[in-house]
Chain A
Amino acid sequence: MTELLQDGRDDGAVAGAAAQTEVWRIEYANRPIPRIVPHLKLRAPSIEKLLTAATVCALLAGWFFLTRYGLVNPLFLPTPAAVWSAFVTTATTGYQGSRLDQHLLASVDRVLIGWSLACVVGVPLGFLMGLNTKIKAVFDPIIEFYRPLPPLGLYTLIVLWLGIGEESKIALLFLAALPPISISATEAVAGIDKRYITAVQSLGASRRQLLHHVILPACLPGICTGMRISLGFTYSVLVAAEIVAATRGIGWMVWDAAKFLLSDVVIMGLIVLGLTGLVLDLLLRRLERVLTPWRFI
C-alpha cells in the first residue's frame, strides 16, 4: 500500500525534479558550485551557535557591568559574585535546613511524579478522545475549563480538599501537566491522514494491526512533543506548588528567600531552576529520538 502511494506521488515528483534539475543545470553552468555548497553547509549551524553564545555572554556581561558600577540597587540585582557565593553556601551548608541538592531533589521528585501521572492518564485519555468523539465530548469541557485557571487560584481549592502535604503539591503539578499531553494526543490521533487508515483497511488489516502499525506510530511524534511541552509547563508551576506549607524544594527556597529579601538566593534558585529545566528537556529530546527515530533522519 505504501508503495502504491509512493508510486503515485513519485510520478509527479520525478517529473518536477527533472525539470528543476534542468533549470539548475543552466543556472549554475558557469558557477563554481563545489566551493559554495560545502562552505555554506559548514558555516550555517555555527552562526546560530555563535549567536546563542553571544546572547548568553551579552547577558552575563550586562549583568556584570550593571552591578559592577553600582547602576542598580543590589537588592534588585545582586552581583554575579554574590549569586555565586549564595550558590556555594546553599550547596555546602544549605538554606533553612536543607542543602541545594536536597531542595532540587525534592522539587524534581514532585515534578516527575506529577508529570508521569499525567502521562499515564493523559496519553490514553487523549488517544480515546481523538478516536471517539463521544468520549471527547465528556472530557473536553472539563480540561478546557480548568486549563486556563491560574495555578495559584486552583491551588487554594486543592489545599482545602487535599491538605498541605505532598498530595496537594503533586495534584497541582498533575493538573498543570495533563492538558498539554491529552490535547496533543487528541490532535495527533485526529490528525492522521485518513488515506493511510482506509488504505490499510482495504488491505484487510485488523483493528489491532491498524492501531499498532498505523495509528500509534503516526501519533507518536505529536504525543512526544506534547509531553515535552507539558514537562516545561509543569516546571513553570513548581514555585506556585511549593508556596503553601513546603519546607523543602527549589520553588519554596525562591519564595522563602524573597520574603526575607535575599535576592542573591532568589536569582541563584531561578538559575538552578532554569538549568535543570533545560537538562530535563534535553533528556526528553533524547527519548524522542529513541521513540521516533524516523523524524530525525
Chain B
Amino acid sequence: MTAFTVKSRAGTLSGAIATILRGAARVLLPIALAATPAIGHAADEPASIKVGYVDLINAQVLAKALHLTEKSVGIPVTWVKFGSGGDLNRAVAAGAIDFGGVGNPPATIGITRGLPYEGIFVLDELGPVESLVARPGIKSIKDLKGKTIATPFGSTSHYELIAALAGAGLNPAQEKILDMDPPDAFAAWTRKDIDAAYLWEPVLGRMVASGGKILMDSGTMARRGYPTWDVGVVMKDFAAKYPGVVVKYLKAECQAIDFWHQHPQEAAGLISKELNVPLAETAKEMTGTYMIPCHEQLTAAYLGTPAHKGKFVATLIATAKFLKSQNRLPDVKEDAVYAEFINPGFLQQAVKP
C-alpha cells in the first residue's frame, strides 16, 4: 500500500516534470529560432516593421498620423511608445524594435555600450521644446541648490540639466535629481513633490500653464555648446537584410518633414490630436523644435555624407566625454566608433528624385 502511493506520487512528479519540460521547449524553441536570423527565408521584405517612438512634438508624429510610413513601406507598421530614449535603448538591447529614435545622450550611451544600431536621419533638433521649468519663487539655476528636480534619466533633458547645473557652478552629483518620465513628473509637480523639472513638450506646457517659470531651454544650451537632437535609428541587422525597406521608411519620414514645413496649420491639428494637446499650444510648441529637411541633413552641419560625415559625430563624441566626466558612462570609445554610427547612405538614396 505504502509502496503503491509512493510510486504513484513519483509517477505524477515525473509527469509534471515532463509537462514543464515540454512547456519550456515550446517557449524556448521559438526564441532560439528567432535569435538566429540566418535560418528561414531570405525575403526582401519582413512581414511587418516595429517602430519605437517617444512622445515628442516632431514630424514623426505626422508620419504616424497620416500613415505615410505604411503607405511607403507597404507592410504593416507597429508603433511602440516609450517614455524616454533610455527606455528605448533597453528595448533596442532586447531586439524588440526595428526602427527607433533617440537623443544624442541615449545614442552615445547605446553606441558606447555596443548597441547594434545606426543613425540614419535627423528626427529633430531641440530648441525651447525642452526646458528647465521651476516654481515661481526660484529665480535662477543657482537657486536650485538643495531643491528637488525631476528629469527622465539617460535622455537629452537629463544631459542638459546636468550641463546647466554644472554651468551655474552647482555640483549635479550633490543635488537631488529624480528619475521620472514626463507624466510622472507632472503628477509630482501637481502634488508639489518637486520644485523643478527639465523635460519636453507636451508636459512642459502643462507645467508652465500651472505656474511654472522657464529657467533655461535647450536652444540656449545648444548655443553654449551643448546641442541636443534626436536621431532616427535602425537595427544594423535589419538594415543589412532589408536596405530597400529602410530607404522607403526614410522617404516617408522626409515627406512628413516636408508636410510640417508646407502645411503648418494642418500639421498642428494632426499633432494636437495625436498627442492630446490643445491646438493653440501645439502651434506654439512646434516653433520650439527644428525640423531639418532631408537634403539639408546631408550637409556638414548635420549627418554629412558617407565620405565626409557631419558635425553630429563631433557632438556624439563631446556628449560621450561629458557623460564620462559625470560618471554616467564607464568609458569612451575611440572616435571611429561614433563616426561609424552615423550612416547617411540610406538617406542619400531616399532623397534621390
B113 / chain A contacts, CB cutoff of 8 Å:
75, 260-262
Q: Counting CB contacts under 8 A, is A247 at the interface?
A: yes
* Known contacts A164-B194, A260-B154; A245/B114 CB under 8 A: no
The distance from the CB of B295 to the nearest CB of chain A, in whole angstroms, is 34
Q: A97 to B328, Cβ gap below 8 A?
A: no
In A252-271, the 8 Å CB interface with B consists of 256, 258-262
Q: Counting CB contacts under 8 A, is B159 at the interface?
A: no
Number of B residues near A (Cβ < 8 Å) is 30
Question: By DSSP majority rule, is chain A's interface helix, strand, loop, or mixed?
Answer: loop
Q: A244 to B180, Cβ gap below 8 A?
A: yes
Q: B184 to A159, Cβ gap below 8 A?
A: yes
Q: Counting CB contacts under 8 A, is B136 at the interface?
A: no
Q: Counting CB contacts under 8 A, is A76 at the interface?
A: yes
The distance from the CB of B187 to the nearest CB of chain A, in whole angstroms, is 6
The distance from the CB of B89 to the nearest CB of chain A, in whole angstroms, is 6
| Residue of B with least CB distance to A258 | B90
A156 / chain B contacts, CB cutoff of 8 Å:
184
| Residue of A with least CB distance to B86 | A259
A62 / chain B contacts, CB cutoff of 8 Å:
none
* Known contacts A160-B187, A259-B86, A261-B113; A245/B150 CB under 8 A: yes
Q: Counting CB contacts under 8 A, is A165 at the interface?
A: yes
* Known contacts A244-B180, A245-B179, A259-B86; A75/B114 CB under 8 A: yes
Q: Counting CB contacts under 8 A, is A150 at the interface?
A: no
Q: Counting CB contacts under 8 A, is B17 at the interface?
A: no
- CB-contact partner of A74 in B89, B114, B174, B327, under 8 A: B114
The distance from the CB of A97 to the nearest CB of chain B, in whole angstroms, is 6
Q: A244 to B93, Cβ gap below 8 A?
A: no
Q: A256 to B153, Cβ gap below 8 A?
A: yes
- CB-contact partner of B187 in A159, A247, A256, under 8 A: A159
Q: Counting CB contacts under 8 A, is B110 at the interface?
A: yes
> A73–B328 Cα gap in the complex (Å)?
21
> A165–B191 Cα gap in the complex (Å)?
11
A261 / chain B contacts, CB cutoff of 8 Å:
89-90, 93, 109-110, 113, 115
Q: A262 to B178, Cβ gap below 8 A?
A: no
Q: B89 to A259, Cβ gap below 8 A?
A: yes
B154 / chain A contacts, CB cutoff of 8 Å:
259-260
Q: B93 to A76, Cβ gap below 8 A?
A: yes
Q: B178 to A247, Cβ gap below 8 A?
A: yes
> A261–B89 Cα gap in the complex (Å)?
8
Q: A245 to B178, Cβ gap below 8 A?
A: yes
Q: Counting CB contacts under 8 A, is A201 at the interface?
A: no
- CB-contact partner of B90 in A96, A247, A259, under 8 A: A259
Chain A proximity mask over B164-190: 1 for CB below 8 Å, otherwise 0: 000000000110111110001001100
The distance from the CB of B99 to the nearest CB of chain A, in whole angstroms, is 19
Q: Counting CB contacts under 8 A, is B329 at the interface?
A: yes
Q: B109 to A260, Cβ gap below 8 A?
A: yes
Q: Counting CB contacts under 8 A, is B296 at the interface?
A: no
> A164–B93 Cα gap in the complex (Å)?
29
Closest 9 CB pairs of A and B: A261-B113, A259-B86, A245-B178, A259-B154, A163-B193, A164-B193, A75-B114, A164-B188, A163-B191
Besides A163-B193, A245-B193, 10 more A-B contacts (Cβ < 8 Å) are A73-B114, A74-B114, A75-B113, A164-B194, A245-B150, A245-B180, A247-B177, A247-B178, A259-B154, A260-B154
Q: 24 A-B Cβ contacts within 8 A?
A: A73-B114, A75-B114, A96-B173, A96-B327, A156-B184, A159-B184, A159-B187, A163-B191, A164-B188, A164-B194, A245-B150, A245-B188, A247-B176, A256-B179, A259-B87, A259-B89, A259-B90, A260-B86, A260-B113, A260-B329, A261-B89, A261-B109, A262-B113, A262-B330
